[in-house]
């Protein structure tokens, strides 16, 4: 058993040394999470667009373009990031807010005071130019968000199921607690009745018999 702590300690040292040898080992993990597709009228809606860099150790310049397409319409530019933020004149004028991160892996925007007319398809185009000494390769990606705006927020089916399960669990625990209390009460009552019967039987024995009942002590 003494060899186990030594093995764990050695493994930890190996992991630390190996981790130091890898670039970006302690850097934040980037996860490409899809955006929500339903917004509520009058609320703010964040259009999530995440594009993880595959070469974190290489410097890259990033260009972000946001487009909006109404139902049956054409794509129209609404927002752009090209070293600086630029908002195009559109139905969203004054209602778009940049939510991108410093490392330009999260290039999301937020639509303020969403209206019913904001339903449609939003496109997020990302273009990265990696800065190598010999060449500058381009990497492009695109995200589509089919947004639907509703007047009131509908209750999430998952939350409803969770609430039902919670109430069922509370009822079950309450019943189980009541059963345990009744069981313990009956057990204590039987023990008290047995003790009273033993005391009554002892008091009913004549005093001379009590003396005879005494166990003689051997010399």
Domain residue limits, the chain = 38-151, 156-182
**Does the CA dihedral 82-85-89-90 come out positive or negative?**
positive
pLDDT number for residue 18: 37
Given pLDDT bands bounded at 50, 70 and 90, which one contains residue 163? confident
- Which of 129-138, 148-157, 182-191 is most confident? 182-191
Considering the domain delimited by 38-151, tell me its CATH architecture: Sandwich (2.60)
Of these ranges, 47-61, 95-109, 156-170, the one predicted with the greatest mean pLDDT is 95-109
Is the confidence at residue 7, as pLDDT, over 60? Answer: no
User: Distance (Å, rounded) from C-alpha 171 to C-alpha 162?
Assistant: 14
Global model pTM greater than 0.85: no
Per-residue confidence (pLDDT) for residue 156, from 0 to 100: 60
Report pLDDT for 208: 57
| Sheet strands side by side (includes 38-40) | 38-40, 138-150, 120-130, 60-69, 76-82, 85-87
Burial class for 193, CB neighbours closer than 10 Å (0-12, 13-18, 19+): exposed
Q: How far apart are CA 105 and CA 53, in angstroms?
A: 6
Please state the rounded mean pLDDT for residues 185-190.
86
């Amino acid at each position: 058993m003494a060899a186990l702590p030594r093995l764990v300690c050695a493994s930890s040292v190996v992991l630390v040394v190996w981790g130091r040898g890898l670039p970006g080992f302690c850097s934040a993990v980037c996860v490409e999470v899809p955006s929500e597709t339903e917004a509520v009228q009058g609320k703010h809606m964040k259009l999530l667009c995440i594009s993880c860099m595959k070469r974190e150790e290489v410097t890259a310049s990033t260009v972000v373009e946001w487009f909006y397409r109404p139902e049956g319409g054409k794509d129209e530019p609404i927002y752009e990031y090209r070293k600086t933020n630029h908002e195009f004149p559109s139905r969203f004028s004054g209602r778009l807010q940049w939510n991108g991160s410093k490392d330009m892996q999260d290039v999301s925007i937020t639509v303020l005071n969403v209206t019913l007319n904001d339903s449609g398809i939003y496109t997020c185009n990302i273009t990265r130019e990696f800065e190598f000494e010999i060449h500058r390769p381009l990497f492009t990606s695109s995200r589509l968000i089919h947004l639907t705006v509703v007047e009131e927020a509908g209750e999430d089916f998952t939350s409803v199921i969770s609430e039902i399960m919670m109430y069922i669990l509370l009822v079950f625990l309450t019943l189980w607690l009541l059963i345990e209390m009744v069981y313990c009460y009956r057990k204590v009552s039987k023990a008290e009745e047995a003790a009273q019967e033993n005391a009554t039987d002892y008091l009913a024995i004549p005093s001379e018999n009590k003396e005879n009942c005494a166990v003689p002590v051997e010399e």
